[in-house]
Amino acid sequence: MIQTTAALLCEPLHRTPHRYQIYRQSRNGLHYNHGAIIDSAEQAVAAFLHTAAAFEGGDVRLWDHHEQRHVASADWNVETTRMGFSVRHRSNVFSDEALADLAQKVTEREQLEETIAERVRMAV
């Protein structure tokens, strides 16, 4: 009886038709969904990379509904400038290696698009 109950509690009641959702932390500490629900892993990673925190140092997470866990989050590192100002830098942490590779490819593609657009502007 205990094994059956534990198995039922761990498994989701029903599979959601979508897979990924982005959540942002509000100042009161709660996480709220942000943007649309996403089926594609590439679109979810791209949206996660472009999602800004709701406030300085706020948390941003990418949730996988099928696995029932967050697969990416934004960490904030604080550095002090030479003038003595504290500056936060975002670093994205992916717990899934495939999504980390996708994030690298998305970033490289966006940099390539930006370079091409810059060259086209210079040529005109």
User: Could you tell me the CA-to-CA distances from 15 to 2, 42, 85, 96 in Å, in that order?
Assistant: 24, 20, 47, 20
Q: Is residue 23 situated within a structural domain? A: yes
Q: Is residue 12 situated within a structural domain? A: no
Q: What mean pLDDT is predicted for residues 24-40?
A: 88
Q: Is residue 89 situated within a structural domain? A: yes
Q: Is residue 1 situated within a structural domain? A: no
d(CA 109, CA 112): 5
- Range with the largest mean pLDDT of 9-18, 33-42, 100-109: 100-109
Taking only the tens place, the pLDDT of each residue in 61-101 is 999 988 889 899 998 898 998 999 989 889 999 998 999 99
Per-residue tokens: 99: 């999504």
The reported pTM is 0.75
User: Is it the case that residue 56 has pLDDT exceeding 90?
Assistant: no
Q: Is residue 10 situated within a structural domain? A: no
d(CA 62, CA 49): 10
* Residue 35 and residue 47 in contact, taking contact as beta carbons nearer than 8 Å: yes
Structural domain harbouring 48: 17-123
- Closest CA relative to residue 48, chosen from 20, 16, 77, 84: 20
Q: Residue 7: its pLDDT value, please? A: 44
* Of the candidate ranges 16-20, 31-35, 52-56, 91-95, the one whose mean pLDDT is the lowest: 16-20
Q: Residue 30: its pLDDT value, please? A: 85
Q: Is residue 55 situated within a structural domain? A: yes
Beta-strand pair 31-38/69-80? unpaired
Q: Is residue 80 situated within a structural domain? A: yes
Q: Residue 123: its pLDDT value, please? A: 80
Burial class of residue 70 (count of CB atoms within 10 Å of its CB; 0-12, 13-18, 19+): middle
Question: Percent of the chain beyond pLDDT 90?
Answer: 47
**Total number of domains constituting the chain:** 1
